[in-house]
Structure 1
Amino acid sequence: MNRNQILLVDGMALLFRGFYATSFRGNYMLTSTGVPTNGVYQFMRYFMDAVNTFKPSHVICCWDMGSKTFQTELYDNYKANRGAPPEELIPQFDLVKEVVEAFNVPNIGLENYEADDCIGTLAAAYSQDHDVTILTGDHDMLQLVNEGTRVAIMKKGMGNYDLFDAHNFLDKQGLSPQQIVDMKALTGDSADNYPGVKGIGDKTARKLLQQYKTVDTLLEKTTELTPAMQKKFEADLDMLHLSRELAQIKCDVPVTCELDDALWEIDRDKIESVFEKLEFRNLDKLLG
């Protein structure tokens, strides 16, 4: 069977990155009716660069569907450190999906789940028979790397990717993809606002996982740790388990997408009409 090349795009990661990359100078790219479009335009630049770089046969874009998720149900403070999005970004949430639709790319999202969970579920479904590339800026996604799935982390500047796959992962991370969740259970995640075990940083966590492989094994053998380290685990045991649950991307949420609907085929007229509406003038340059 011929293995398709499937690109799963973390839509929010590209849109936020695009918005902040261009708006710091106050450049919101307003249309003649005053609608800001800078995030959408920069999203398209990132999106097309990835398509031209990874040459997928199929493309799907995944989105968060609001701030309430099962993670916020588990832990009130989950992502509570994030302020409301800038008002210039708010109208661009719907506009960017219109643009994605014009490219005949499915927009996938599910109430109560994050885009990560949709990406994890689709990657699990496709990676048996196809090659999946996940495009994101989010290192949480590294836990999804396996024989059929690689993760392209966007780096500063256009066209710079840090590519993680089953063959280079251990060399680059010093851990296996399966250990990434346990790593975050120990250290927490300041971006997502959960603490892990107080007093355990990156270096210590890495060392513990290299020695004990999993948090479960580590907890069975805490008597081997120093008294000070044992105390840390005793004090934060509940938070350790909660942090692990928050770090784990769900790969079994009820989303599906037929591959036939995600075939990468450009309908130029469709794209042109959306670009006209947004007053984007350099279509040829964007399409590469």
Structure 2
Amino acid sequence: MGNDNKVLIVDGMALLFRAFYATSYGGYIRKTKSGTPTNAIYGFIQYFFDAIDTFKPTHVICCWDMGSKTFRSEMYDQYKANRMEAPEELIPQFDLVKEVVSSLGVINIGLAGFEADDCIGTLASRLGIDSEVYILTGDHDMLQLVTDLIKVVIMKPGKLNYAVYDIASLLVEKQLSPQQVIDIKGFMGDTSDNYPGVKGIGQKTALKLLIDYQSVEGVLENLHLLPKGVKGKIEADLEMLHLSRDLARIRIDVPIECSLIECIWELSHDTATSKFEELEFGSLVKLLGVSVPKVPKVIIQDLFAL
């Protein structure tokens, strides 16, 4: 590889929701003196800088969902219909966190009608042609984006706990290729996104089908070889098999732009510091690497003695 570019693409929603629940489970929600809840943003910043310290990117981008209506909900009206409303204290933090990200000198990207996943997939596939890309998320659907140059970093419970997937580790741990991450969802569906796949086929059967026949097409070409029960289930739900796979596929052709030069990681110390102070995040200013000069105690005493 000719260059040493390392692009970190952050799944903003994944970090923000994780931070909200990690900091609110005890019932206490951090707020500013004026009453604006900031607990999720506070946690987001910590996760963000942990990842920066761990992966040491040269470029950073943050991607966001832009509302619940997307082309997937047009394709299937039950898509994510099981999702609860966002907690009330989180709602004002959605816009505010983007301001914080901007203040750090990081570009925010999102497009109405698409999910953050699609923006991430599009940027990763473009930038992953000649740069190393790390996608920071908690979403295993992203594993379909893994290539020789794109790695998916799954945040696991606890601080600084990451599973980094490349093609080899994905195969070892999940027994799947990136394409099969999409195909398996066609068969088993996805309860968190609320689409069913093939009724009666769970993860175990779906995985066996893909190990034996490689792909949805491979399975369909060999239906006559399958046990009668499995064959019957697939034949009864062919339409939903194809729809579920299409819902699972992250798009890599979203009409968004972000060149390498626009996403160079260069922390804006001054704007970030003033934003942190505005949000009463005094204890986080140290993450910005800004050293606040401390006046030695002895001098203070001397001043008072004058």
TM-score by length of 1: 0.98
1:127 is matched by which residue type in structure 2?
A: G
Contact 1:152 1:162 (C-alpha < 8 Å) held by counterparts: yes
Q: d(CA) in 2 for partners of 1:78 and 1:260?
A: 36
3-state SS of paired residue (2:184): helix
Cα deviation digits, residues 207-233 of structure 1 (max 9, x gap): 110000000111111111111111101
Residue 95 in structure 1 maps to residue 96 in structure 2: yes
In structure 2, what is the equivalent of residue 50 of structure 1? 51
3-state SS of paired residue (1:234): helix
In structure 1, what is the equivalent of residue 231 of structure 2? 230
1:95 is matched by which residue type in structure 2?
A: L
Cα deviation digits, residues 125-166 of structure 1 (max 9, x gap): 011100000000000000000001000000001110011012
Q: d(CA) in 2 for partners of 1:185 and 1:194?
A: 9
Please list, as runs of the form range in 1=range in 2, the aligned pairs for 1:184-223 lying within 5 A after superposition: 184-223=185-224
Q: d(CA) in 2 for partners of 1:117 and 1:222?
A: 32
In structure 2, what is the equivalent of residue 149 of structure 1? 150
Contact 1:272 1:283 (C-alpha < 8 Å) held by counterparts: no
Contact 1:3 1:129 (C-alpha < 8 Å) held by counterparts: no
Q: How many residues align?
A: 288
Q: d(CA) in 1 for partners of 2:243 and 2:63?
A: 25
Q: d(CA) in 2 for partners of 1:72 and 1:169?
A: 29
3-state SS of paired residue (1:91): helix
In structure 2, what is the equivalent of residue 116 of structure 1? 117
Q: d(CA) in 2 for partners of 1:168 and 1:144?
A: 14
In structure 2, what is the equivalent of residue 32 of structure 1? 33
| Structure 2 portions without partners, runs of 5+ | 290-306
In structure 2, what is the equivalent of residue 283 of structure 1? 284
Structure with bigger gyration radius: 2
Q: d(CA) in 2 for partners of 1:183 and 1:3?
A: 34
257-266 or 94-103, larger mean C-alpha shift: 257-266
Q: d(CA) in 2 for partners of 1:167 and 1:207?
A: 19
3-state SS of paired residue (1:271): helix
Deviation of 1:284 (Å):
4.1
TM-score by length of 2: 0.92
Q: d(CA) in 2 for partners of 1:118 and 1:267?
A: 24
Cα deviation digits, residues 174-207 of structure 1 (max 9, x gap): 1111111000110000110001011111111111
In structure 2, what is the equivalent of residue 272 of structure 1? 273
In structure 2, what is the equivalent of residue 159 of structure 1? 160
Deviation of 1:257 (Å):
0.5
3-state SS of paired residue (2:168): coil
2:228 is matched by which residue type in structure 1?
A: P
1:123 is matched by which residue type in structure 2?
A: A
Cα deviation digits, residues 32-60 of structure 1 (max 9, x gap): 00000000000001010000000000000
2:21 is matched by which residue type in structure 1?
A: Y
Q: d(CA) in 2 for partners of 1:29 and 1:284?
A: 17
Contact 2:127 2:260 (C-alpha < 8 Å) held by counterparts: no
161-170 or 150-159, larger mean C-alpha shift: 161-170
Q: d(CA) in 2 for partners of 1:267 and 1:100?
A: 10
3-state SS of paired residue (1:257): coil
